[in-house]
Amino acid sequence: MTLHAAVPKTAAETALAAAFSALSASDAAKAAFADFETRGLPTRRDEAWHYTDLRAAMKRVEPLAAVPDDRRLKAVEAVLARTPRIADVRWVLVDGRYAESLSDAPPAGVSLSLVEAPRAPETSDAVVSLNRAFARAALDVRVAANAAPPSLEILHLDGPGAIYSRVDVEVGAGAKISVLERFEGASEGTQRNGLTAVTLAEGASCDWTTIVGDEAALHLETPIVRLQRDASFRNFGLVCGGALVRRQIDVAHSGPGAKIALSGLSLIEGQRHADTTLTVRHAAPRGESREFFRHIVADEGSGVYQGKVIVDPHAQKTDGGMKSQALLLSPTAEMDNKPELEIFADDVVCGHGATVGALDPEQVFYLQSRGIPRPQAEAMLLEAFGIEAIERVADEAVADALRERLHDWLKRRAA
Amino acid sequence: MLEVKNLSVSIHGKPILEGLNLNAKAGQVAAIMGPNGSGKSTLSYVIAGKPDYEVTGGEVLLDGEDLLDLEPNARAAKGVFLAFQYPVEIPGVATMTFLKAALNAQRRAHGQGELTTPDFMRAVRGAAADLKVDPDMLKRPVNVGFSGGEKKRVEILQMALLQPRLCVLDETDSGLDIDALRVVADGVNKLRDAGRAFVVITHYQRLLDHIKPDVVHVMARGRIVKSGGAELALELERNGYRDYADAEAAA
């Protein structure tokens, strides 16, 4: 406490306070901002932020993006017209706000509303508090029990400015959904803070794919997932853009027999920094979790993977397996790979593995010896490395889109 | 076609080849036999351009042109092919994709357009049938989960597709049973013609029962120590390599 008080505010923290005081805010938002101010921007002394010093990196604060007006929506409409659909039903958020005029009607079994004061998530963190303080009008999605609607796409199209978004999804008992969430449109003037809260009732199932594919200066994303008995949640995250990206995923089984599979692929070139930090808490028996992440780090890029799996004392028969594998393509590329297990139960099967390496020179030579030039040989091997991660995505249309992004990234690098 | 002149090569500072001389002529099969550790595989890798080796002296010429400064893919485009002793596994890359990439890369290097898919499929199916390779296997990742015999047959399949001028076979017989050996040898013999040279590296004479060599060289301690006709292989089979190892040690 005294430590926080002793640290002078950074320019960014001061700017955030000024931006907040200019808003009309609910008591909940005020409480959230007060919580942020006690914490301050996270630094490397915060264990969860050890490899991403947000306080040092966040030199400036962009002004809050305005609520999109007709002109802005018209401009987005033109972008949408040339953005191919991947899922069946598309909902669009522009600068963090749900744009009804650009979105499809919810399918049967799914309802959609805007909520001014969404409930507080269980996660506490400076970035979550900022989101609670600044985000307005959460998109609240409810999926009826046993519904199996067509596939859904949540498309964030963001312009410049500070953008806060909040999406809540409640999946009813026995319901089954497939969601693609894409972050697009952002540029170096964009600072994004997105929070997604997903709750899965008994036996519900959700396949969620996330694409971070634009060039935000700052992409902070907090998916928070809670699973009841026998529910299942799968997330795949493709990160192929953004100067500083942090996906912090917080998942907990609060019911027995739940299944979680988290996976992803990060493509990190130039001077980009991409951090994937997971907390998976097994708070009930017979849970299963699988984490599989791959990272390709080139140039002066830096990647971070922190995966923490916590098995509570009564979460017996937990089955956990975690893998994080990185390929470094240059001597200045960096990867911090930190899988962690905290096991307090005695009857569990949990394992983890983390590797960091270079492309196998034997494989490169073999391809070259058949006439394939080195850049193409390397691209083939990198594509294979990425495709093996994408294989975890069940929806073929989504997997195709992911493979295409990977292919484009490799082509851009070769050019 | 291939002239290796006074070639010296070391790896991590340790000399492996010491002043090796070798010629391989178009239309001929030159066999290289020798004890383990004599540098046979090193020679094959240096011809193909594996980067780990340091050439400390000499030349490797293909039709008078020095290969040593060329990248492995440029050597392949000039017609060099190495059938690996241990073909490399490449998870995630389907064999078919790999074959197409290799074939088209070489066509591009020769200023030709890419093959159409039907033409490519026809070529692959033909070569696969000759080498008794199940076409379904080619959907699997390169060499992953292939048996020893399958790997060697797919090496020869690649050779048949790419139509190189200089074929270097490094212990292609190792790990093959007698039937697989015959299939592989038939595949090689089918490719023999007046414009193509073969260098067949083997430890045992048995491969040479199926692929009749025109010349046999004995390699020991990093150089060719004796050359002769096909009868030299038989003599080695009877007497082993001890004479050569001793002769070298005494020298």
CB half-sphere exposure, A225, CA atoms < 13 A:
30
pLDDT digits (tens, 9 = 90+) for A54-81: 999 999 999 999 999 999 999 999 999 9
Please, which pLDDT band fits residue A4 given cuts at 50, 70 and 90?
low
Q: Does A384 touch chain B (CB under 8 A)?
A: yes
Average pLDDT over residues A377-399: 96
Which of A366, A371, A384 lies at the smallest CB-CB distance from B105?
A371
pLDDT at B245 over 70: no
Tokens 């020869």 identify what position?
Answer: B156
Which stretches of chain B are assigned E, i.e. beta strand? 2-11, 14-24, 29-33, 54-62, 65-66, 80-83, 90-94, 141-142, 166-170, 197-202, 215-220, 223-228
Q: Poorest-confidence range of A56-65, B23-32, B236-245? A: B236-245
Q: Which two tokens stand for residue A343?
A: 């096991």
Measured between beta carbons, the chain B residues lying within 8 angstroms of A361 are 51-52
**Residue from A353, A326, A336, A330 nearest A275 by CA:** A336
What is the Cα–Cα distance from A384 to A296, expressed in whole angstroms?
12
Tokens 């097994």 identify what position?
Answer: A282
Measured between beta carbons, the chain B residues lying within 8 angstroms of A373 are 71, 73, 105
Per-residue three-class SS string for B158-220: HHHHHCCCEEEEECCCCCCCHHHHHHHHHHHHHHCCCCCEEEEEECCCHHHHHCCCCEEEEEE
pLDDT digits (tens, 9 = 90+) for B41-75: 999 999 999 999 999 999 999 999 999 999 999 99
**Residue from B5, B32, B21, B11 nearest B208 by CA:** B32
Would you call A381 and B93 a contact, using CB atoms and an 8 Å cutoff?
A: yes
What is the Cα–Cα distance from A123 to A109, expressed in whole angstroms?
29
Is the distance from CB of A275 to CB of A245 less than 8 angstroms?
A: yes
Q: How close A71 gets to chain B, by Cα (Å)? A: 47
Per-residue three-class SS string for A139-164: EEEEECCCCCCCCEEEEEECCCEEEE
Report chain A's mean pLDDT, rounded to a whole number.
95
Measured between beta carbons, the chain A residues lying within 8 angstroms of B112 are none
pLDDT digits (tens, 9 = 90+) for A351-367: 888 999 999 999 999 99
pLDDT digits (tens, 9 = 90+) for B161-196: 999 999 999 999 988 888 889 988 998 999 999 999
Q: Which two tokens stand for residue A122?
A: 């269980």
Q: What integer pLDDT is reported at residue A87 of this predicted model? A: 96
pTM to 2 decimal places? 0.92
What is the Cα–Cα distance from B89 to B141, expressed in whole angstroms?
8
3-state secondary structure of B113: coil
Type of residue found at A387: I
Report chain B's mean pLDDT, rounded to a whole number.
92
pLDDT digits (tens, 9 = 90+) for A244-260: 999 999 999 889 999 99
Rounded to 5°, the CA angle B16-B17-B20 comes to 170
**Residue from A355, A368, A360, A262 nearest A308 by CA:** A262
pLDDT digits (tens, 9 = 90+) for A146-172: 999 999 999 999 999 999 999 999 999
Average pLDDT over residues A116-143: 92
Please, which pLDDT band fits residue B246 given cuts at 50, 70 and 90?
low
Q: What integer pLDDT is reported at residue A350 of this predicted model? A: 86
Percent above pLDDT 70 for chain B: 97
Number of residues assigned to chain A: 415
Q: Does B111 touch chain A (CB under 8 A)?
A: no
Please, which pLDDT band fits residue B237 given cuts at 50, 70 and 90?
confident
Q: What integer pLDDT is reported at residue A415 of this predicted model? A: 74
Which stretches of A45-121 are assigned E, i.e. beta strand? 89-94, 97-98, 110-115
What is the Cα–Cα distance from B211 to B246, expressed in whole angstroms?
29
What is the Cα–Cα distance from A379 to A407, expressed in whole angstroms?
9
pLDDT at A5 over 70: no
- Choosing among A265, A325, A364, A365, which should be mutated to test the B contact, i.e. which has the most B CBs within 10 A? A365
pLDDT digits (tens, 9 = 90+) for A190-246: 999 999 999 999 999 999 999 999 999 999 999 999 999 999 999 999 999 999 999
Q: Does B72 touch chain A (CB under 8 A)?
A: yes
Percent above pLDDT 90 for chain A: 89
Helix H segments across A22-61? 27-39, 54-57
pLDDT digits (tens, 9 = 90+) for A311-352: 999 999 999 899 999 999 999 999 999 999 888 988 989 888
Tokens 């929506």 identify what position?
Answer: A73
Q: What integer pLDDT is reported at residue B37 of this predicted model? A: 86
Is the distance from CB of B142 to CB of A354 less than 8 angstroms?
A: no
Return the bridge partners of A17, or none: none
Residue B87 gets which letter from DSSP?
Answer: P
Q: What integer pLDDT is reported at residue B247 of this predicted model? A: 47
pLDDT at A119 over 50: yes
3-state secondary structure of B236: helix
Cα A38 → chain centroid: 25
Which of B51, B73, B97 lies at the smallest CB-CB distance from A371?
B73
Please, which pLDDT band fits residue B14 given cuts at 50, 70 and 90?
very high
Q: Which of residues 329-368 of A touch B (CB under 8 A)?
A: 361-363, 365-368
Q: Does B50 touch chain A (CB under 8 A)?
A: yes
Q: What integer pLDDT is reported at residue B251 of this predicted model? A: 38
ipTM for the complex shown: 0.96
Give A251's contacts (C-beta < 8 A, 6+ positions apart): A224, A225, A226, A227, A233, A260, A262, A278, A279, A280, A281, A289
Type of residue found at B114: E
Query: DSSP of A365-400, one letter per residue?
Result: HHHHTTT--HHHHHHHHHHHHHHHHHTT---HHHHH
Q: For strands A176-184 and A288-297, give the pairing.
A: unpaired
Q: How close A369 gets to chain B, by Cα (Å)? A: 5
Would you call B71 and A373 a contact, using CB atoms and an 8 Å cutoff?
A: yes
pLDDT at B249 over 60: no
Please, which pLDDT band fits residue B248 given cuts at 50, 70 and 90?
very low
Query: DSSP of A250-313, one letter per residue?
Result: EEEE-STT-EEEEEEEEEE-TT-EEEEEEEEEE-STT-EEEEEEEEEE-TT-EEEEEEEEEE-T
What is the Cα–Cα distance from B103 to B122, expressed in whole angstroms?
13
Give B101's contacts (C-beta < 8 A, 6+ positions apart): A367, A372, A376, A380
N-to-C CA span, chain B? 31
Would you call A371 and B102 a contact, using CB atoms and an 8 Å cutoff?
A: yes
Query: DSSP of A320-374, one letter per residue?
Result: EEEEEEEEE-STT-EEEEEEEEEE--SS-EEEEEEEEE---HHHHHHHHTTT--H
What is the Cα–Cα distance from A342 to A281, expressed in whole angstroms?
9
Q: What integer pLDDT is reported at residue A6 of this predicted model? A: 60
Give B90's contacts (C-beta < 8 A, 6+ positions apart): A363, A366, A367, A381, A384, B98, B141, B142, B143, B144
Phi, psi of B11 (to 5 degrees): -130, 130
Return the bridge partners of A263, or none: A236, A292
